[in-house]
């Protein structure tokens, strides 16, 4: 018998949706609440390495993900010169196993829709436009009041509500989220025929410029600059700024830049980082995903680590008979050091770029591949 019979999951991102799906598939009653009014995600695209694809396959969505995304097995490194010269082609490790692609790019909103659709299919009660306003727990459960006036009692509450987690604040946990010193421009648009993989351009006037195909007809492109206040720019000014920064990069970037014409498909955010010290639970409330650990997307592992959190947590909940300290100790043993190592590696690569030192980027990529190839 599972350690829990009914669970509230707060946040319908990767960690939350994956947790809800796995529990509901095993017969646990799950409520999933999301404060946003509908399915969606900030940003444009996401890069999913093999360990993320492995977790998505366990959730029963691999065929839909495969059809919606764009798979590739090599990452290119290009020079910021007038030709966009290829200086390295690095085979991407198949960290999810030999029968899965090494890397897949896809639209973030599309991935969110696939996961929430799957959650509904397996019996999760999904509610948008609300979150909790009060959590009161005792030895046997958590009483929850919601913003829409409803209430419920649960064996467990999973806070998967992101970087600035409302659940974390409701628990009184103080966690310093620090800027890395970089800001990223992202844009979503059509895929030129010249883009068939991720290419990374290190150096030039920005730290990095790159792109990732997200489907047969789509991609997301990005330029990373020193973090600064861009909040006063109009959407049209944001688009012009990204195009101006991207003008220094060539090769397929020349084709990509011409497709960047829609101001509504450009956004700008800062890289930030934190790791919540263990344990990630307070009694019967536990934090996962960005609520517990977040990192700059320099090695494209944020989403994968959120999915691994969900797998490890639900595996323990479904194979243990009690929600006790042994379970929480086992969760910490499986997830804390692994997530912290990925955050540290992401920050290390960001520091190299801030110092204008490329470092052994291929070597770091191989080290990360060795780490993430192991199951969560």
Q: Where are the alpha helices (DSSP H) in 69-175?
A: 108-121, 166-170
Question: What is the reported pTM?
Answer: 0.93
Q: Answer whether residue 67 is part of any domain.
A: no
Banded pLDDT at 359 (limits 50, 70, 90): very low
Q: Where are the alpha helices (DSSP H) in 26-107?
A: 50-58, 62-68
Average pLDDT over residues 79-87: 96
Q: Answer whether residue 321 is part of any domain.
A: yes
Average pLDDT over residues 336-340: 97
Q: What is the pLDDT of residues 199-227, one digit of tens each?
A: 999 989 999 999 999 999 999 999 999 99
Closest CA to 258 of 269, 273, 247, 274: 247
Token look-up 């351009």 returns 201
Closest CA to 289 of 8, 4, 7, 17: 17
Q: Answer whether residue 237 is part of any domain.
A: no
The answer to whether residues 111 and 66 touch, using CB atoms and an 8 Å cutoff, is no
Average pLDDT over residues 97-122: 96
CA distance 215 to 108: 12
Residue 83 pLDDT greater than 70, yes or no = yes
Supply φ then ψ for residue 260, to 5 degrees. Answer: -85, 90
Residue 360 pLDDT greater than 60, yes or no = no
Q: What is the pLDDT of residues 259-293, one digit of tens each?
A: 999 999 999 999 999 999 999 999 999 999 999 99
Q: What's the confidence (pLDDT) of residue 355?
A: 80
User: Burial of 269 by CB count in 10 Å (0-12 exposed, 13-18 middle, 19+ buried)?
Assistant: middle
Q: What's the confidence (pLDDT) of residue 46?
A: 95
Helix, strand or coil, per DSSP, at residue 336: helix
Range of the domain at 325: 6-42+108-177+273-373
Q: Answer whether residue 156 is part of any domain.
A: yes
Q: Which two tokens stand for residue 202?
A: 């290190």
Could you tell me which residues are beta bridge partners of residue 264?
none
Banded pLDDT at 41 (limits 50, 70, 90): low
* Radius of gyration in angstroms for the set of CA atoms belonging to the chain, rounded to a whole number: 21
Q: Answer whether residue 281 is part of any domain.
A: yes
Q: Answer whether residue 355 is part of any domain.
A: yes
Q: Where are the alpha helices (DSSP H) in the chain?
A: 14-25, 50-58, 62-68, 108-121, 166-170, 235-246, 252-259, 302-319, 325-354, 361-372
Supply φ then ψ for residue 366, to 5 degrees. Answer: -65, -40
Helix, strand or coil, per DSSP, at residue 2: coil
Q: What's the confidence (pLDDT) of residue 370?
A: 54
Q: What's the confidence (pLDDT) of residue 1?
A: 83
Residue 357 pLDDT greater than 50, yes or no = no
Q: What is the pLDDT of residues 143-194, one digit of tens each?
A: 999 999 999 999 999 999 999 999 999 999 999 999 999 999 999 999 999 9
How many domains does one find in the chain? Answer: 1
DSSP-assigned states of every residue in 150-201: -EEEESEEEE---TT-HHHHHTT-----EEEEEEEEEEEEPPPTT-SS-EEE
CA distance 217 to 346: 29
pLDDT over 70, % of the chain: 93
Q: Answer whether residue 24 is part of any domain.
A: yes
Q: Answer whether residue 245 is part of any domain.
A: no
Closest CA to 191 of 259, 108, 267: 259
The answer to whether residues 174 and 269 touch, using CB atoms and an 8 Å cutoff, is no
Q: State the average pLDDT for the chain.
A: 93
Q: Spell out the residues 6+ positions from residue 72 whose beta carbon is closer than 8 angstroms to its own.
A: 92, 101, 102, 103, 104, 105, 196, 197, 198, 213
Cα–Cα distances in angstroms (integers) from residue 306 to residues 70, 168, 180, in the given order: 21, 16, 20
Q: What's the confidence (pLDDT) of residue 358?
A: 47
Q: What's the confidence (pLDDT) of residue 361?
A: 53
User: Burial of 78 by CB count in 10 Å (0-12 exposed, 13-18 middle, 19+ buried)?
Assistant: buried
Q: What is the CATH number of the domain that holds 14?
A: 3.50.50.60
Q: Which two tokens stand for residue 142?
A: 């958590």
């Amino acid at each position: 018998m599972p350690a829990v019979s009914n669970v509230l999951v707060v946040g319908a991102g990767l960690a939350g949706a994956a947790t809800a799906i796995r529990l509901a598939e095993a017969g646990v009653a799950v409520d999933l609440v999301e404060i946003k009014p509908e399915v969606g995600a900030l940003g444009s695209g996401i890069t999913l390495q093999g360990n993320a694809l492995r977790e998505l396959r366990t959730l029963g969505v691999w065929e839909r993900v495969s059809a919606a995304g764009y798979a590739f097995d090599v990452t290119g490194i290009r020079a910021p010169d007038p030709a966009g010269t290829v200086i390295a082609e690095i085979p991407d490790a198949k960290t999810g196993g030999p029968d899965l692609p090494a890397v897949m790019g896809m639209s973030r909103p599309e991935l969110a829709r696939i996961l929430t659709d799957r959650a509904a299919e397996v019996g999760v009660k999904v509610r948008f436009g609300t979150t909790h306003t009060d959590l009161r727990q005792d030895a046997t459960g958590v009483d929850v009041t919601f913003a829409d006036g409803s209430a419920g009692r649960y064996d467990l509450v999973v806070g998967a509500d992101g970087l600035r987690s409302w659940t974390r604040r409701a628990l009184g946990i103080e966690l310093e989220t620090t800027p890395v010193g970089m800001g990223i421009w992202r844009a979503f648009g059509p895929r030129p025929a010249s883009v068939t993989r991720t290419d990374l351009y290190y150096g030039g006037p920005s730290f990095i410029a790159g792109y990732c195909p997200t489907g047969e007809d789509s991609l997301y492109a990005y330029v990373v600059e020193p973090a600064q206040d861009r909040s006063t720019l109009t959407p049209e000014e944001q688009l012009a700024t990204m195009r101006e920064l991207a003008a220094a990069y060539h090769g397929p970037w020349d084709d990509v830049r011409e497709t960047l014409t829609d101001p509504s498909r450009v956004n700008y955010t800062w890289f930030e980082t934190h790791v919540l010290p263990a344990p990630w639970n307070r009694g019967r409330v536990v934090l996962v995903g960005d609520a517990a650990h977040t990192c700059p997307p320099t090695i494209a592992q944020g989403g994968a680590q959120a999915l691994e959190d969900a797998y490890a947590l639900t595996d323990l909940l479904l194979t243990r008979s009690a929600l006790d300290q042994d379970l929480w100790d086992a969760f910490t043993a499986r997830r804390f050091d692994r997530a912290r190592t990925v955050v540290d590696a992401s920050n290390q690569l960001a520091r190299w770029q801030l110092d204008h030192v490329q470092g052994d980027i291929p070597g770091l990529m191989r080290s990360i591949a060795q780490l993430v190839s192991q199951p969560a």
